[in-house]
Amino acid sequence: MSLQSPHPGELLQKEKLLLARGAAEASAQPRLDILVPLTDDADEEVRQAAVETLHRLGDDYCAQALASPSLPESVLRYFLDPAHLRPRLLPVLLTNPVSPQDEINALAATAGPEAIPLLLEHLDLLKSSALTALKSNPAYLGWKKKSSLAALPKEEKLAAARDALNLPPEQQLPTLVLLGSDPNEEVRRAAQGALGQLEETRCAKLLTDPFLEAAVARYFLDPGHVRPALLPVLLAHPVSPADAVAALAAQASPAIIPVLLDNLDLLKTSALVALKDNPVYLQWQKEPPTQGMVVEVDLLEMLIAEAEAEELQEFPAEAVEVAEKEAAGGIYSKISRMTVAQRVKLALLGNREERSMLIRDSSKSVIRAVLGSPKLTDSEVENFAAMKNVSQEVLRLISMNRKFMKNYTVMKSLVNNPRVPIDVGLPLLPRLIINDLLTVSRSREVSDTIRKMAEKFYKARHP
């Protein structure tokens, strides 16, 4: 294997994996120009190995490598990405003539609160376009506000905390949240008291601000400050930090858990995992409320697995046939754009027509949600059991539900369904009345095994 100037697209998977793990023939250290492209490789194992190797590389080695003007632009873009930015490497990146200015501008415009002081420390290395981008960065504006508030005398801070300065509505929450962590105890208590007394309708309106600061969202997502009525607004807001939502899900109380489940489609994988391990949720789901969404642990686990795979499931051909009959913008059009989590929520809370389409979904989580919907009727289950265009998983799940199997029509439909698994259909034959056994024994649609066993049972009862 030659590592003179390898191109990842031309290497075998094993070779790429070795490179991603830092293997090299002639050098003691792996090469950034090889590792960075491998972080976008089609193979997940290669991608993960490359990312881990890059994380292990020391700042001194990376700084020396990033100073080279012969590096590909893609390598510099990788390290300028806020997700990969390292404080000690920023001066090197800003002084390298190959560093793309548009990426530096993007960093200045989108850097979070933790990176703002770092950029301010190196203002002399920023060009005018980056400085302009930095001035419009919401995190920078928040940093300025925090700095100015910190410099105020105690009396003015108290006045602001007590809402006596008549601040504009868009400044009220950020100011109170900042003062809520002030070093002065009196200021801190005054601000927290003012936040607690804000009416929920007014608070909700302020939280819908498209320029809402992440720090404000984080405050109201804190388990100690969260309010159930405000939670849907926060979960839907793009600025809400994913780690704060996950932390809330991990510690959610019985009052918060139903709200999280009602907004299941807004939760990211990290929050779903945290909720699944929440001891309160594990206890709550044993005795769930009679109203609202009920999501059992096993269904949540299936949903997490699919979310982690980041798969947007496609409908089978039968569903497409139905879709062709739908007008533009109809139900299928709506469902086809949904994520798995959104379809699970619709399956649990949607209407009969939506469930009739979702029962044919290729996601097991969605199917389980349809059959677990509190709105599901006996007639729907009877129709599902007779459908010839559903997966065997649907028929198997129906057969495993004691409530469904108390319905004789459901049981009879399963046996007569040509798609029913043999291990599901055979045990049901002895429970059929003699006339239905005769019908199955003469059916040309069911499998030979089920037909012959039905004939055998019929003859045993009707010699």
| 166-213 pLDDT per residue, tens | 666 667 788 888 888 778 888 888 888 888 888 888 888 889 887 788
Q: What pLDDT does residue 86 have?
A: 86
Q: What is the residue whose two structure tokens read 């003699």? A: 434
CA separation for the pair 35, 49 (Å, rounded): 9
> Looking at residue 215, what is its pLDDT?
84
For the segment 10-51, what is each residue's pLDDT rounded down to a tens digit? 567 778 888 888 765 445 577 898 899 999 888 888 888 888
Dihedral of CA 165/168/169/173: which sign?
A: negative
Domain coordinates of the chain in residue numbers? Answer: 8-122, 295-376
Closest-CA residue to 348 (of 381, 325, 323, 374): 374
Beta carbons of 51 and 39 less than 8 angstroms apart? yes
Which of 240, 232, 188, 182 is closest to 213 using CA atoms? 240
Residues of the chain with pLDDT > 90, as a percent, come to 26
Entry pTM: 0.53
Question: What mean pLDDT comes out for the span 60-71?
Answer: 91
DSSP states of 80-146: HSTTT--GGGHHHHHH-TTS-HHHHHHHHHH--TTTHHHHHHTGGG--HHHHHHHHT-HHHHHHHHH
DSSP letter for 292, please: S
Judge whether residue 328 has pLDDT over 50. Answer: no
Q: Mind listing the pLDDT tens digit for each residue in 136-173?
A: 887 777 677 666 666 677 787 788 777 655 666 667 78
3-state class (DSSP) for residue 238: coil
